[in-house]
Amino acid sequence: MKITFYLLALLWIVLPMSAFSQNKPLKIIMIGAHPDDCDIKGGGTAALFVQMGHQVKFVSVTNGDAGHMEEGGGMLAKRRMAEAKEAGRRLGVTYDVLDHHDGELLATLPIRLEIIRIIREWDADVVISHRSNDYHPDHRYTAVLVQDAAYMVGVPNIAADTPPLRKNPVFLYFQDNFQKPNPFEPDIAVDISSVFDKKIDALDAHESQFYEWLPWIGNYAEEMPKEKEAKKGWLKSKRVFAPNSLTLAALKIWYGESKAGQVNYAESFEICEYGTQPSKEEIKRLFPMLQ
């Protein structure tokens, strides 16, 4: 009887502790403007999180219904939804596509509330989105929508039908090359060399983009091979970028001098000034691949 009591008491102490320990999966949400942005900017990092048992959701705020030279409207939105779901399947992430027109996004209150609810429902530890000086208006307004949600996710009277987060997530920006008014600063750089092929596999799922629209709008369609099998190799060759000097400096901080020099492919992120400001230890907990 006494032993049973002690065992029960022990379980009562140990079980809740384990539920809140490092074994609890991290919840990451990446919010891009279009159904391929998260894959391009964070697909490798997402694959690493998934490999380590954590949970990642990609959200596209627009439905991508303008991203083609011959197709458009509902049929294109449907095609892009199917491509996004397939990319998500290949990476092991959940992929949601919101039904807002591509190329026409504005930072409105209803969409802000929608973003707040999505971040809350995912119970996000980390939220990653564009910076607000990105080239595409949809990217800029997605950035504003996410920044506007950063404080409000914890305010109970806003979007009151969805319980507020009691811990503000860490908000991060995807990498970009825009310099004005201020350039991107990589605070976190992730070595994605081991999952680079998986990332390319995810991009390959967006056929309407990487094999049709982007080569057309970029005027390089003629260099793309005709055979389906050769296209993926060509896509990979288009995506090979060695880490730049700033990313390399960030890699050295997280991986050490010698390992950083061997990194072939990286994705980097900047800490947003809104949301929780993580210490170095907290970043290591939230990005367990940085060991």
Interacting residues with Zn ion (CB under 5 A): 33-34, 37
> How far apart, in whole angstroms, are the C-alpha atoms of residue 156 and residue 271?
25
Q: Given the complex with Zn ion, which of 107 and 158 has the nearer CB atom? A: 107
Task: Provide the minimum distance between the beta carbon of 37 and Zn ion in the complex, in angstroms, as a whole number.
Answer: 4
Question: Is the Cα torsion angle 226, 73, 59, 84 positive or negative in sign?
Answer: negative
The distance of closest approach from Cβ of residue 145 to Zn ion in the complex, given in angstroms and rounded to an integer, is 14
Least gap, CB of 68 to Zn ion (angstroms): 13
> CB of residue 202 vs Zn ion: minimum separation in angstroms?
15
Residue nearest Zn ion, CB atom distance: 34
- What's the min distance (Å) between Cβ of 139 and Zn ion? 6
Q: Which is nearer to Zn ion, 33 or 189 (CB)?
A: 33
| Spatial distance between the Cα atoms of 289 and 88, rounded to a whole number of angstroms | 20
Is the bond preceding 181 in cis, omega lying within 30 degrees of 0? Answer: yes
Which residue, 34 or 100, is less far from Zn ion as judged by CB?
A: 34
Helix, strand, coil percentages (3-state) for the chain, rounded to 5, are 50, 15, 40
Least separation, in Å, of the C-beta of 136 and Zn ion? 5
Sort 126 into a burial class: Cβ within 10 Å, 0-12 / 13-18 / 19+: buried
| 120 vs 130, beta carbon nearer Zn ion | 130
**What is the strand order of the sheet 94-97 is part of?**
94-97, 55-60, 27-32, 126-129, 170-174, 266-275, 188-191
Shorter beta-carbon distance to Zn ion: residue 111 or 159: 111
3-state SS assignment for residue 124 = coil
CB neighbourhood size of 137 (10 A): 13
Put residue 58 in one of left, alpha, beta given phi > 0 → left and psi -120 to 50 → alpha. Answer: beta
Nearest to 134 by CA among 187, 178, 185: 178
User: Minimum Å distance from CB 112 to Zn ion?
Assistant: 19
**Complex with Zn ion: residue 37 or 65, whichever CB lies closer:** 37
Which one, 37 or 83, has the nearer CB to Zn ion? 37
CB 60 within 8 A of CB 209: no
Supply angle C-alpha 185, 187, 191, rounded to 5.
Answer: 110
